[in-house]
Amino acid sequence: AQSVTQLGSHVSVSEGALVLLRCNYSSSVPPYLFWYVQYPNQGLQLLLKYTSAATLVKGINGFEAEFKKSETSFHLTKPSAHMSDAAEYFCAVSESNYGQNFVFGPGTRLSVLP
């Protein structure tokens, strides 16, 4: 069965500092991996997704994530945090053989300090 863990329910960084949000997954088949962002009282928006075309995936708002099969990880990074990046971030996995469902991680709340 597929599952997702996100290390750290809350991460704080200073404006301009590196953002690193961690995501590890388990899957019995090659997975599809996603990062979503949620601003308060809104739905989730897609940041980026991995579909096996390239291990380093670039997304919107300067975010990128690297798929590492050996580590079963898909960590999200951004070189320089901006105040507008403060939000909840969710990692998700969808197995290639089972298309009817997504599994979301518990989420990481990112705070950006001035």
Considering the rule CB under 8 A, would residue 44 count as an interface residue with other proteins?
Answer: yes
Minimum CB–partner distance for residue 91 and other proteins (Å): 10
Considering the rule CB under 8 A, would residue 42 count as an interface residue with other proteins?
Answer: yes
State how far the Cα of 98 lies from the Cα of 29, in Å rounded to an integer. Answer: 10
* Residue from 43, 56, 70, 114 in contact with other proteins (CB under 8 A): 43
State how far the Cα of 76 lies from the Cα of 92, in Å rounded to an integer. Answer: 12
Shorter beta-carbon distance to other proteins: residue 73 or 94: 94
Amino acid at the residue 9: S
Considering the rule CB under 8 A, would residue 86 count as an interface residue with other proteins?
Answer: no
Q: Is 9 helix (H, G, I), strand (E, B) or coil?
A: coil
State how far the Cα of 14 lies from the Cα of 87, in Å rounded to an integer. Answer: 14
| Residue range at the interface with other proteins (CB under 8 A); choices 17-25, 59-67, 74-82, 93-101 | 93-101
Q: Buried b vs exposed e over 28-44: b needs ≥16 C-beta within 10 Å?
A: eeebbbbbbbeeeeeeb
Q: Which residues bind other proteins (CB under 8 A)?
A: 32, 34, 36, 41-46, 49, 51, 90, 92, 94-102, 104-107, 109
